[in-house]
Structure 1
Amino acid sequence: MRDVQLRYFYTIANEGSIRKAAEKLNVAASALSRRIIQLEEDLGIPLFERHARGLNLTDGGRLYYSHARQTLLNEEWVVGEIEAIKDLRRGQIRLHCVEGVIGSILTDAVAEFRAGSPEVKIFINRAGSTGVVKAVAADEVELGLALDPPLHRDVMTLEEVPAPLYAVHSPSFDFPHASPELAELADFPLAIPPDSSYGLRDLIDRAARLRADIQLHAPLHCDSIFGLTGFALSGQGVSILPKCSFINELRDGRLLAKPLQDPPLRDANLTLMARRHRILPPVTRRFCDILAKHLRQAPS
Structure 2
Amino acid sequence: MQQSALRYFLEVARTGSVSAAAERLRVAASAVSRQISKLEEELGAPLFERRARGMVPTHAGRLLASHAERAALESEQIVNEIRELSAAGRGLVRLGVTEGMAVSFIPEMIHAYRIAHPRVLFDLKVLPPAQVTTCVREGEVDIGITFSLSADAGVKVQWQRAVPAHAFAAPNHPLMRRERVTMAEVLAYPTASLDGAATIRRMLDHYCAAQGMELEPAINSTNVTSVIHFCRLGGAVMFSAYVSVLAAVRDGHLAAVPLVEGGILERSLQVQTMLGRRLPAATQGFLDLVIAELEALGPPPPARA
TM interval, shorter chain, is 0.7 to 0.9
Amino acid at match of 2:261: D
Contact 1:83/1:89 (8 A) holds in 2: no
The offset of 1:97, in angstroms, is 0.9
Query: Structure 1 pair 88/272, CA: closer, same or farther in 2 (3 Å)?
Result: farther
Residue 188 of structure 1 corresponds to which residue in structure 2? Answer: 189
Amino acid at match of 1:261: V
The offset of 1:47, in angstroms, is 6.6
Partners in 1 of 2:241 and 2:75 — Cα distance?
38
Amino acid at match of 2:96: H
Query: Structure 1 pair 49/282, CA: closer, same or farther in 2 (3 Å)?
Result: same
Partners in 2 of 1:168 and 1:225 — Cα distance?
13
Amino acid at match of 1:180: V
Partners in 2 of 1:70 and 1:251 — Cα distance?
40
Amino acid at match of 2:35: L
The offset of 1:225, in angstroms, is 1.1
Contact 1:130/1:198 (8 A) holds in 2: no
* SS of aligned partner of 1:279: coil
Q: How does 1:133-152 map to 2 (within 5 A)?
A: 133-152=133-152
* SS of aligned partner of 2:188: coil
Tell whether 2:241 aligns with 1:251: no
Post-superposition Cα deviations, 1:44-82, rounded to whole Å, max 9, x if no partner, equal: 849767666334557986676455334324324433553
Residue 97 of structure 1 corresponds to which residue in structure 2? Answer: 97
Q: How many residues align?
A: 293
Post-superposition Cα deviations, 1:224-266, rounded to whole Å, max 9, x if no partner, equal: 1112112212222111122233333333433222121214367
Query: Structure 1 pair 133/206, CA: closer, same or farther in 2 (3 Å)?
Result: farther
The offset of 1:39, in angstroms, is 2.6
* SS of aligned partner of 2:160: strand
Partners in 1 of 2:65 and 2:157 — Cα distance?
26
Partners in 1 of 2:186 and 2:48 — Cα distance?
55
- Output the TM-score relative to the length of structure 2: 0.79
Residue 292 of structure 2 corresponds to which residue in structure 1? Answer: 293
Amino acid at match of 1:79: V
Tell whether 2:218 aligns with 1:222: no
Of 243-252 and 40-49, more deviation after overlay is shown by 40-49
* SS of aligned partner of 1:217: coil
Residue 281 of structure 1 corresponds to which residue in structure 2? Answer: 280
Amino acid at match of 2:284: R
Query: Structure 1 pair 11/238, CA: closer, same or farther in 2 (3 Å)?
Result: same
Contact 1:188/1:237 (8 A) holds in 2: yes
Q: How does 1:106-145 map to 2 (within 5 A)?
A: 106-145=106-145
Partners in 1 of 2:224 and 2:62 — Cα distance?
40
Partners in 2 of 1:269 and 1:42 — Cα distance?
43
Measured on the aligned residues, the alpha-carbon RMSD in Å equals 3.4
**Structure 1 residues without counterparts, runs of 5 or longer:** none
Amino acid at match of 1:222: S
Query: Structure 1 pair 61/105, CA: closer, same or farther in 2 (3 Å)?
Result: closer
**Structure 2 residues without counterparts, runs of 5 or longer:** 300-305
Of 47-56 and 145-154, more deviation after overlay is shown by 47-56
Contact 2:166/2:256 (8 A) holds in 1: yes
Post-superposition Cα deviations, 1:82-114, rounded to whole Å, max 9, x if no partner, equal: 356457733432221111222322112212222
Query: Structure 1 pair 121/64, CA: closer, same or farther in 2 (3 Å)?
Result: same
Partners in 1 of 2:32 and 2:288 — Cα distance?
41
Query: Structure 1 pair 133/88, CA: closer, same or farther in 2 (3 Å)?
Result: farther
Q: How does 1:1-300 map to 2 (within 5 A)?
A: 3-22=3-22, 25=24, 27-28=25-26, 31-39=27-35, 45=41, 53-56=53-56, 65=65, 68-79=68-79, 81-82=81-82, 85-86=85-86, 89-161=89-161, 163-175=163-175, 178=178, 179-195=180-196, 197-205=197-205, 207-208=207-208, 212-264=211-263, 267-300=266-299
Amino acid at match of 1:36: V
Partners in 2 of 1:107 and 1:137 — Cα distance?
23
* SS of aligned partner of 1:187: coil
